């Protein structure tokens, strides 16, 4: 059998090594990452958080997620689309989030674009790029997990073509991983089967 990067946790179960690196990651890894996410607002939240993560570690975002939810009206597209310049300035002063002007402006601009889409359109578009699970081998090591795929590149292009900002191929792939379009839990990871549904 080939080598595996999976590491035993306190309960003896094998996990992706990053899923044991901090306490915050254990619950996120075991109960959330890689599980299918549906619904326009839920996917908008993930899209925004992945964009905010760009250039930072995910733990920074994860630890501020409640702050982001408070600041951005629980990522309800219709509400964020109505944010004004005053809201933008308020967000730039909010220590509960990442205060990056370009990322904040992209979050607001994306909500305005998405507010004009029909209900379920973002969900349908994102999920249309999910590859066939049977065509993907379960990764055994972290080096088996790509940063970009043909599907994430195509998703990035499709979103940008529709006016969505701050979503390059790497961010698109992180979104695909987090939202269950792909299952990148290692082959021996205890969370892999649950993520597969």
- Positions annotated as catalytic residues are 28, 50, 58
Helix or strand (DSSP H, E) at 7:
strand 7-8
With b meaning 16 or more CB within 10 Å and e meaning fewer, what string describes 4-25? ebbbeeeeeebbbbbbbeeeeb
- Taking a C-beta distance cutoff of 8 angstroms, is the pair 123, 170 a contact? no
Q: What angle do CA 28, 29, 30 make, to 5 degrees?
A: 95
Both tokens of 140, joined, read: 């055994």
Residue 36, number of CB atoms within 10 A of its CB:
13
Backbone angles phi, psi at 176, to 5 degrees: -60, -40
Which residues, at least 6 apart from 54, have a Cβ–Cβ distance to it below 8 Å?
103, 166, 168, 170, 171
Distance CA 75, CA 92 (A): 17
Could you list the residues known to form a binding site for Zn(2+), using ranges: 16, 29, 185, 189
């Amino acid at each position: 059998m080939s080598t595996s990067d999976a590491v035993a946790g306190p309960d003896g179960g094998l996990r992706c090594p990053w899923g044991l690196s901090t306490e915050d990651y254990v619950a996120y890894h075991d109960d959330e990452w890689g599980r299918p996410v549906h619904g326009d607002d839920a996917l908008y939240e993930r899209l925004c958080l992945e964009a905010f993560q760009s250039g930072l570690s995910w733990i920074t975002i994860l630890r501020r997620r409640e702050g982001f939810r408070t600041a951005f009206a629980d990522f309800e597209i219709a509400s964020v689309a109505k944010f004004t310049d005053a809201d933008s300035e308020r967000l730039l002063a909010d220590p509960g989030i990442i205060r990056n002007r370009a990322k904040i402006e992209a979050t607001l601009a994306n909500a305005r674009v998405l507010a004009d889409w029909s209900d379920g359109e973002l969900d349908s578009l994102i999920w249309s790029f999910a590859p066939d699970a049977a065509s993907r081998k379960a990764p055994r090591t972290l080096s088996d997990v790509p940063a970009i795929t043909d599907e994430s590149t195509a998703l990035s292009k499709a979103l940008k073509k529709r006016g969505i900002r701050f979503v390059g191929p790497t961010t698109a792939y992180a979104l695909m991983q987090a939202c269950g379009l792909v299952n990148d839990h290692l082959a021996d990871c205890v969370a892999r089967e649950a993520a597969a549904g």
